[in-house]
Amino acid sequence: MTIKQTVKKYSSELKEVTHIPSKEIEILIMYLLDKNIIWLHLNYDKEFEKKNELLPLIKKRAAYYPMEYIIGQASFYGEQFYTHSNVLIPRPETEILVDKAKEALENIKNPNIVEIGTGSGIISIMLALLIEDIQITAVDINNDALELARKNAKKLKVEDKITFVKSNLFSNLKETCFDMCVSNPPYIANNYKLPENVKFEPSNALFGGEIGDELLVDIIDLSVKHNIRFLYCEMGYDQKEPLSKILKSCNPLSLDFYKDYSQFDRGFCVEFNNNK
């Protein structure tokens, strides 16, 4: 069979798990052949000789296993990042958080920031790429996440701007004097039923506690305690009201909530009044 015939034949296998089954078959073929989309379309009539390797991958994907884990990479902010099955997959909506943080950091000379729960490193790495004179401390409690984040930082040549630390929140940080804390922490309530495709991702990167916002509350408290000027975080779509009350009780200079691409409440940006 040619590549074209292979795509046509096996697309139906993925119609229940994705709205772009043909595209996903192409992605798996490109992964096996180590080729890009331009090569693929120029060689659509070429014989495909890796059917025996393709079929197990299709079966895996048909069982809702994430494509990003199968091919070992994910796209974020126009860059390709390595992925790992024990680390949360990058989400497009997190690009909004990066944009918001970038806007504030551009007005700070030589900004020094901390990221809580760096995961694959996407937020810290993109800020390191976008802000020239920045220094970042990125923490996580997951060794696999830290190893992956270091690998991604090296790939994108920003490892000199980022210090990766194994830490539960601020517990292992020697320095706590930061201009900004940024975080996309676990914020899903423990009893929430996950969609099929998300069930394969690490639960400790998804569930934030009985209510869901416990870690966010801790991050707010620590940011105030350490006189951090800016706090930019993602949150759950139903957490605006309780978090708004907590943040307003801190008498911030400014507080803004923002929505994601689906118009759900997705995060907040706060500047605390600490005369910093």
254 — pLDDT class (breaks 50, 70, 90): very high
Question: Phi then psi for 77, rounded to 5 degrees?
Answer: 55, 35
* pLDDT per residue as tens digits for the range 224-252: 999 999 999 999 999 999 999 999 999 99
Average pLDDT value for residue range 87-98: 96
Domain with residues 87-271, CATH architecture: 3-Layer(aba) Sandwich (3.40)
pLDDT of residue 276: 44
Find out whether 67 and 25 touch, Cβ atoms under 8 Å: no
pLDDT of residue 275: 58
Torsion of CA 25, 28, 34, 39, to 10 degrees: 10
Tokens of 7: 């795509």
19 — pLDDT class (breaks 50, 70, 90): very high
pLDDT of residue 197: 78
The amino acid that residue 203 corresponds to is S
Residue 204 or 138, more confident: 138
Tell me the pTM: 0.93
CA 56, 61, 64, 70 torsion: positive or negative? positive
Asked if the model's pLDDT at residue 34 lies above 60, the reply is: yes
Cα 183 to Cα 75, 136, 167, 169, 191: the distances in Å are 19, 12, 14, 10, 22
Mean pLDDT of the chain: 94
pLDDT of residue 209: 86
* pLDDT per residue as tens digits for the range 118-165: 999 999 999 999 999 999 999 999 999 999 999 999 999 999 999 999
